[in-house]
Amino acid sequence: LEAMEPEELALALAELDSDDALGIIEELEESQQRTVLDKLPALDRRWAEEGYEPGTFYDSYAYFLSVDRKLGEKHLLNFTGFGAPTRRGRAGASTPEMYELADNNYYNPFWGFQNGEKRNARVSTVHQPVLILRHDWEINEDATLTTTASYQFGRIGSTALNWFEAPDPRPDYYRNLPSFFRAIGQPEGAAIIEDNLRNNQAARQIDWDSFYEINRSSQLADKYPRFVQEGTTGNWSQYIVEDRRYDSEEMNFYSNYSHVISEKFTLNGGLAYQAQTIDNFKVLEDLLGGDYFIDLDAFAVRDFPDDPDVQQSDINNPNRVVTEGDRFGYSYDIDVRRTSSWLQGQFTLRRFDIFLAGEFSRTQFWRTGKYRTGRFPESSFGESEKVDFNNFSVKGGTTFKVDGRNYIFANAAYLTRAPFARNSFVSPRTRDQLVPGLESEKILSGEVGYLLRSPNVQARASVYYTQFEDQTNIVRFYNDIQRAFGSLVMTNLDQRHQGAELAVEAKLTPSVSLRGVAAIGEYIYSDRAQGALFGDDRETFDLANDEFEIYSEGLSVPGRPQNAYTLGLNLRPPGYWFAYLNFNYFDRIFIDYNPISRSEEAVIGLDPESEVFENVTGQRQVDGQFTIDLFGGKSFKFGRKFLYINVGINNILDNQNFITGGFDQLRFDFDERTGTESVFEPRFYYLYGRNFFVNVSLRL
């Protein structure tokens, strides 16, 4: 690649996937000070009126600019800017009951018809431009200093339905399903609802037209005249669409120094600073036919009808009338500041390559409330206490060069990491209360492996072990028992990840190679976690004294297949074309468990050896699945012009029963322990069936 002319290089890069191509570009630029980025597109557009799942759409632009300026022989200045404004309709996980009623594993509960047109309630809009200024200084032939400053800003948001004194309109809400009516002893009503959901698509979707009818005849102003400010006219909307925003502004500064002290020793070091502010708030997106909305805490209006202060989302602006484009509900900033310094030494010996590195960091974060909530007037407004964490990491590794083709390597690390700010405040929308006993996470990790690099066979085999301790996680949910939103805070989340990986690629002929990959892992929770419930409307809930032990030890970490295998046939004959045929198998896939059902209160009176106990405390594992994928492409050269055609077919066998993940609902049905049908089924995601892409590009 280093010897290629620019046109030849562009042709070769076009045959790689984007990650490989960008990796090669970075290596070439570092080794040759050669600008390759201008061979990449500067502008593009990607869109779809509807995706694989009904009711979804996609509309995205992308732009990129990179400019170099050489300042003498030793200095290079680079400016890079890029961004991708994207708007897309989202799809949601649903329950087996709804998938069966819809007779479709790609049922999407987020959309419905409005005036005969599909409209999605969950629309994600993201645009976060990044600006980077980089300075490379070649101090001498043995030492370089690279300094980078970057700025990222813009918006991140997703819309959702909200309502005030109105029924929950979600079509797959458990109280709207046949299973709920059977559970409360109304089989006739269940049969009617089941027939309607099974045979009427509109009944399975959001009824947008009904929102407009309800809002145009709303009686809220007559029912609550005390909230309506003088001069306000029109209808107070009962249903609205809100845009939940968490706009991020981030500044980064890095300075890395590299010095080749001798042929056998290289020293690297650096400093870094990060300042991030996340602006969390809601915007009223659509009044759905109404004229205004009043910024109140709907749950406080229900629970404290005679306390006007508690009912306010912002006591500083009581009974505030909001219209489309206004902030309401909550508004606060989370600020994070992080400084770090690191040092690494690399030894290159005849038989061994050795490195040893260390880092020290300091992380500080705090919350700044912009609303004084009626529930927590003393702890919601203004700047909170600043929390500091000092952390360190050490890592090292060695590679033993048996000969020019065989290598044995070993790496190890121990580090501490500050908790993420998003998992540090129990209810940041309403107050600045921190998770009790918040502490840094500890990570111990190591791996040992073997590398083979020969002309016809390349292989990598390794075993690894990683222990995570003192993790914290927060899950927000609606508590049906307390009839309020809140947070489940989990601490002492310890995990153990261990396994083995093997990858082999063998050339059968100069143009044909066989590739095999196997990843066998065990990712489990290695200890019982501690749970605590906190309400948005109160300091705590009242389940098991608000704090409880979670029987999580031995459960599997969700979100990935723990075993994965691929066997691939790669064709790359002369003529600038290629084809990859991959056979894949994924196994040991677990869905996320409900911690509340793994508590002591959930198993009181149950025999630990019984099937009912296992149903309550166990974890759902889905079936292993098999897929086949095919990718191919060809490049054509016409003088100095290039035409690239790439084609891919995913999931050739059209496997539509592949559950890729899911989660138990955080509602727990105690009647399920008696063997009756649960109304709180898990929610699943399915792999898309057969799909394909064709990409044709022309470079002039």
Residue 38 structure tokens:
């201008």
Average pLDDT, stretch 383-387?
A: 95
C-alpha 211/C-alpha 316 separation (Å) is: 31
Nearest C-alpha neighbor of 674 from the set 632, 613, 593 = 613
C-alpha 127/C-alpha 87 separation (Å) is: 9
pLDDT, residue 603, reads 77
Per-residue pLDDT reduced to its tens digit, 291-311: 999 999 998 898 888 898 999
C-alpha 415/C-alpha 270 separation (Å) is: 18
Per-residue pLDDT reduced to its tens digit, 646-661: 999 999 999 999 999 9
- DSSP labels for 496-527? EEEEEEEEEEEEEETTEEEEEEEEEEEEEE-S
C-alpha 2/C-alpha 42 separation (Å) is: 23
Q: At what angle do helices 18-32 and 6-14 cross, to 10 degrees?
A: 150
DSSP run (H or E) holding 118: strand 117-120
Per-residue pLDDT reduced to its tens digit, 524-579: 999 999 998 888 776 554 444 467 889 899 999 998 899 999 999 999 888 888 99
Per-residue pLDDT reduced to its tens digit, 459-518: 999 999 999 999 999 988 877 666 778 888 999 999 999 999 999 999 999 899 999 999
Q: Is there a contact between 586 and 563 (Cβ–Cβ < 8 Å)?
A: yes
**Ramachandran sector of residue 288 (left: φ over 0; alpha: ψ -120 to 50; beta: rest):** left
Q: What percent of the chain stands above pLDDT 70?
A: 91
End-to-end CA distance of the chain: 21
> Which residues are CB-contacts of 645 (< 8 A; sequence separation ≥ 6)?
633, 634, 635, 636, 694, 695, 696
Q: Is there a contact between 181 and 193 (Cβ–Cβ < 8 Å)?
A: yes
User: What is the 3-class SS of 330-388, one letter each residue?
Assistant: EEEEEEEEEEEEEEEEEEECCCEEEEEEEEEEEEEEEEEECCCCCCCCCCCCEECCCEE
Confidence check: pLDDT of 216 > 70: yes
Q: Is there a contact between 82 and 37 (Cβ–Cβ < 8 Å)?
A: no
Confidence check: pLDDT of 670 > 60: no
Per-residue pLDDT reduced to its tens digit, 601-632: 777 777 888 877 777 777 889 999 999 999 99
Q: Is there a contact between 273 and 339 (Cβ–Cβ < 8 Å)?
A: yes
The pLDDT-based confidence of 669 (bands split at 50, 70, 90) is low
The CA dihedral of 362, 368, 373, 375, to the nearest 10 degrees, is 20
The pLDDT-based confidence of 675 (bands split at 50, 70, 90) is very low
Q: What is the DSSP letter of 429?
A: T
Which residue is it, tokens 């009962």? Answer: 238
Residue 183 structure tokens:
């559970």
Per-residue pLDDT reduced to its tens digit, 196-207: 999 999 999 999
**Whole-Å CA distances, 264 to 13, 30, 259, 347:** 33, 20, 12, 5
Q: Is there a contact between 400 and 377 (Cβ–Cβ < 8 Å)?
A: no
Q: Is there a contact between 370 and 245 (Cβ–Cβ < 8 Å)?
A: no
**Whole-Å CA distances, 42 to 82, 84, 687, 695:** 9, 11, 32, 17
pLDDT: which is higher, 387 or 538: 387
**Ramachandran sector of residue 528 (left: φ over 0; alpha: ψ -120 to 50; beta: rest):** beta
Q: Is there a contact between 507 and 531 (Cβ–Cβ < 8 Å)?
A: no
Confidence check: pLDDT of 62 > 70: yes
**Whole-Å CA distances, 162 to 92, 244, 288, 341:** 17, 11, 11, 46
Per-residue pLDDT reduced to its tens digit, 127-155: 999 999 999 999 999 999 999 999 999 99
Q: Are strands 577-590 and 561-571 parallel, antiparallel or unpaired?
A: antiparallel
Residue 431 φ/ψ, nearest 5 degrees? -170, 175
Q: Are strands 58-71 and 86-89 parallel, antiparallel or unpaired?
A: antiparallel
pLDDT, residue 533, reads 85
C-alpha 480/C-alpha 670 separation (Å) is: 13
Q: Is the dihedral of CA 95, 98, 103, 106 positive or negative?
A: negative
Q: Is the dihedral of CA 304, 242, 96, 682 positive or negative?
A: negative
C-alpha 472/C-alpha 426 separation (Å) is: 11
Other CB atoms within a 10 A radius of the CB of residue 517 amount to 17
Nearest C-alpha neighbor of 687 from the set 652, 661, 663, 649 = 661
Residue 145 φ/ψ, nearest 5 degrees? -130, 120
Confidence check: pLDDT of 641 > 90: no
C-alpha 108/C-alpha 125 separation (Å) is: 19
C-alpha 432/C-alpha 369 separation (Å) is: 8
Residue 311 φ/ψ, nearest 5 degrees? -75, -10
Indicate the range of 39-43, 121-125, 323-327 predicted with least confidence: 39-43
What sections of 2-102 are H helices per DSSP? 6-14, 18-32, 96-102
Average pLDDT, stretch 677-700?
A: 85
Nearest C-alpha neighbor of 406 from the set 337, 452, 474, 458 = 452
pLDDT: which is higher, 172 or 597: 172
Per-residue pLDDT reduced to its tens digit, 3-15: 454 445 555 554 4
3-state secondary structure at position 416: strand
DSSP run (H or E) holding 199: helix 187-199
C-alpha 62/C-alpha 195 separation (Å) is: 46
Q: Is there a contact between 177 and 193 (Cβ–Cβ < 8 Å)?
A: yes
Q: Is there a contact between 29 and 39 (Cβ–Cβ < 8 Å)?
A: no
One-letter amino acid at 486 equals G
Residue 216 φ/ψ, nearest 5 degrees? -75, -15
The pLDDT-based confidence of 45 (bands split at 50, 70, 90) is confident
pLDDT: which is higher, 266 or 41: 266
The pLDDT-based confidence of 18 (bands split at 50, 70, 90) is very low
3-state secondary structure at position 301: helix
Nearest C-alpha neighbor of 544 from the set 472, 484, 485, 604 = 604
Which residue is it, tokens 């600045």? Answer: 432
Nearest C-alpha neighbor of 123 from the set 207, 52, 58 = 58
Per-residue pLDDT reduced to its tens digit, 76-87: 999 999 999 999
**Average pLDDT score, the chain:** 89
pLDDT: which is higher, 184 or 451: 451
Q: Is there a contact between 440 and 462 (Cβ–Cβ < 8 Å)?
A: no
C-alpha 407/C-alpha 452 separation (Å) is: 6
C-alpha 449/C-alpha 462 separation (Å) is: 4
3-state secondary structure at position 312: strand
> Which residues are CB-contacts of 618 (< 8 A; sequence separation ≥ 6)?
none
